[in-house]
Amino acid sequence: MQQAYFRYYPQLKPNLTAVSDLIGDRLTVRYAQLEPALQQMAQQGGKFLRPAFLLLFAGLHEHPVTEQQLKAAASIEILHMATLIHDDIIDDAPKRRGHASLQAAFGKDVAVYAGDYLFTVFFDLITETVANTRFLTVNARIMKRILNGELGQMGDRFKLDQSLLGYLRNVNGKTAALFSLAAEEGAFLGGATQKEIQLAKRIGQNIGIAFQILDDILDYTGHHLNKPILKDLATGVYSLPLLLVLPTHQAELTPYLTQQAQMTPADIKAVQQIVKQAGGVQAAQTLAAKFTAKAEAELAQLPPSASRRALEKIIEQLLKRTR
């Protein structure tokens, strides 16, 4: 786990270590070499943001953490890992979390099955934790929402008439759904009231959307550390800063964008400049700030606790990064 994140929730450290151990115990697979690679992916470099979210929302009433909560936190991180492995196949990504991606190390064949395998571990864990609650169905559907987000994004590739609504719908699926589930399920497992559980769900969703918009912005401001700048653009995935200025700057942008996958690095740089000068980054920041402000206001309605304070700090930090 990346240590830096613990400054927002130091109290969680022993619990996140327990989650990490739980994950390690479940990653046994009948293929020599693959198991150590999965273990490495699980233990190193992951931010454990989603399990942390689940446990923070589970702590709203300051009851002691339960085995059930730790397992649920592990299930969400494992689902996240599964989607990362399949994303890396699709992106032909050479690296993941500082090491060779599974598909680079073992080929796409093993990587397809490895991702599938983690889906099964996810379902094992949810049948062990929430089988007798409505969260069994919620969890079964979450994967579908993530995939519909990914497929929706793929279906929109290179389209010049994407709506903001379509973008938000895709982002909601591919990123916010899992944050939202972590928050909602955490609140539920921590004994929160029905009203608090609904608030948690919305907070998770709003933070998730802000989180993805921030990621989109970093693509244009060039502060991404592990990602080739504007890779999305070259593959036809138009992220928020571009989408926000596209309707008003069709004339300048269309000649570049219609070249699709044939755009040169110079073309991509030109698009980046047009988007920045047209105010796309600022407009995206404004929108992200709206979602974080919503999350902040909703968080204020939850009972005060160490967990709430940690969540406030995380949101504050998010707001800073979108300014």
The verdict on 121 binding a copy of itself (CB under 8 A) reads: yes
Rounded to the nearest whole angstrom, what is the least distance from the CB of residue 90 to a copy of itself in the complex? 4
The verdict on 264 binding a copy of itself (CB under 8 A) reads: no
Cβ proximity to a copy of itself: between 38 and 284 the closer is: 38
Among 63, 67, 140, 316, binds a copy of itself (CB under 8 A): 140
Residues with Cβ within 8 Å of 196's Cβ and at least 6 positions away in sequence, in order, are: 60, 187, 302, 303
The verdict on 86 binding a copy of itself (CB under 8 A) reads: yes
CA angle 90, 74, 126 (to 5 degrees): 90
Rounded to the nearest whole angstrom, what is the least distance from the CB of residue 229 to a copy of itself in the complex? 21
Among 39, 47, 123, 294, binds a copy of itself (CB under 8 A): 123
The verdict on 172 binding a copy of itself (CB under 8 A) reads: no
CA angle 112, 148, 282 (to 5 degrees): 110
The verdict on 6 binding a copy of itself (CB under 8 A) reads: no
The verdict on 104 binding a copy of itself (CB under 8 A) reads: no
Q: At what angle do helices 13-26 and 34-43 cross, to 10 degrees?
A: 170
* Tokens at 269, concatenated: 């740089």
Rounded to the nearest whole angstrom, what is the least distance from the CB of residue 234 to a copy of itself in the complex? 14
Cβ proximity to a copy of itself: between 232 and 296 the closer is: 232
Whether the CB-CB separation of 76 and 125 falls below 8 Å is answered with no
Among 100, 143, 274, 293, binds a copy of itself (CB under 8 A): 143
| 316 CB neighbour count, 10 Å cutoff | 13
Distances (CA, A) of 202 to 190, 299, 301, 307: 17, 10, 12, 17
The verdict on 215 binding a copy of itself (CB under 8 A) reads: no
Among 151, 164, 297, 300, binds a copy of itself (CB under 8 A): 151
> d(Cα 313, Cα 311) in Å, to the nearest integer?
5
Helices (H) and strands (E) in the chain, counts: 16, 2
The torsion defined by the Cα of 218, 221, 227 and 229, in degrees rounded to 10, comes to 130
Binding range to a copy of itself, per CB under 8 A, among 112-120, 260-268, 302-310, 314-322: 112-120
> d(Cα 150, Cα 172) in Å, to the nearest integer?
10
Rounded to the nearest whole angstrom, what is the least distance from the CB of residue 244 to a copy of itself in the complex? 22
The verdict on 158 binding a copy of itself (CB under 8 A) reads: no
What single string gives the DSSP state of each residue in 257-309? HTTGGG--HHHHHHHHHHHHHTTHHHHHHHHHHHHHHHHHHHHTTSPP-HHHH
> d(Cα 107, Cα 102) in Å, to the nearest integer?
7
The verdict on 89 binding a copy of itself (CB under 8 A) reads: yes
Rounded to the nearest whole angstrom, what is the least distance from the CB of residue 87 to a copy of itself in the complex? 9
Residues that bind a copy of itself in the complex, under the rule CB under 8 A: 29-32, 34, 86, 89-90, 108-110, 112-117, 119-121, 123-124, 127, 131-132, 136-137, 140-141, 143-144, 147-148, 150-152, 154-155
